[in-house]
Amino acid sequence: NAGVTQTPKFQVLKTGQSMTLQCAQDMNHEYMSWYRQDPGMGLRLIHYSVGAGITDQGEVPNGYNVSRSTTEDFPLRLLSAAPSQTSVYFCASSFTSSDTQYFGPGTRLTVL
Amino acid sequence: DQQVKQNSPSLSVQEGRISILNCDYTNSMFDYFLWYKKYPAEGPTFLISISSIKDKNEDGRFTVFLNKSAKHLSLHIVPSQPGDSAVYFCAAVNDYKLSFGAGTTVTVRA
């Protein structure tokens, strides 16, 4: 099992550009989520999904879109990148929201 | 407005001694609590959890205590080892959502 994989590992964008952060898991987990980690803030939930076709907003959803067309994949789209979106992004998956969440290695995003 | 707070950003402890990490929360609807450990340039990894119906859970060197009336939980690591040097996050679950604290950086001194 590869677990939770995220691509790319690093990305630099210019303000206004769009991009998609990829996340995939091979553990047949129903619950998937995206977090951003900023200094002094811990991890903040952006969006989550309790199963294919179902997504919902977390604590900081503005500027981000998600979709869940398959159980395995949960991409995060930045519509128009802003410097405030400079952060480290983590994807996670688990069987349910209360189960152990397995995190990917993270994507470090810089928006200039 | 953070619902989960870790008020100590750092903790330094001697190898072999006890590490005690604290976490406070404000939302009484949280029904499950977890601790995660994170090394630099890696994703967080699960350490230990506790349901809101319990007050203690133990797993090897790690014990988590929950005081619901005080809305407080703590993680005890005994004995502390050099490999325990990492950032520790407290997290709480309500309505499919996890809320994390800001983290405590633990340094274990030889």
Cα B51 from Cα B93, distance rounded (Å): 10
Nearest to A42 among B32, B97, B102 (CB): B102
A45 contacts in chain B (CB < 8 Å): 97-99
Strand-strand pairing, A76-78 and A87-94: unpaired
| Residue indicated by tokens 């977890």 | B34
- pLDDT of B18-70, one tens digit each? 999 999 999 999 999 999 999 998 999 999 999 999 999 999 999 999 999 99
Query: Which pLDDT tens digit goes with each residue over A55-99?
Result: 999 999 999 999 999 999 999 999 999 999 999 999 999 998 878
Share of chain A above pLDDT 70, in %: 100
B14: distance to nearest CA of chain A, Å? 25
pLDDT averaged over every residue in chain A? 95
Which 9-48 residues of chain B touch chain A by CB within 8 A?
A: 9, 31-32, 34, 36, 41-46
pLDDT in tens, B83-101: 999 999 999 998 888 899 9
- Number of Cβ atoms within 10 Å of the Cβ of B92: 24
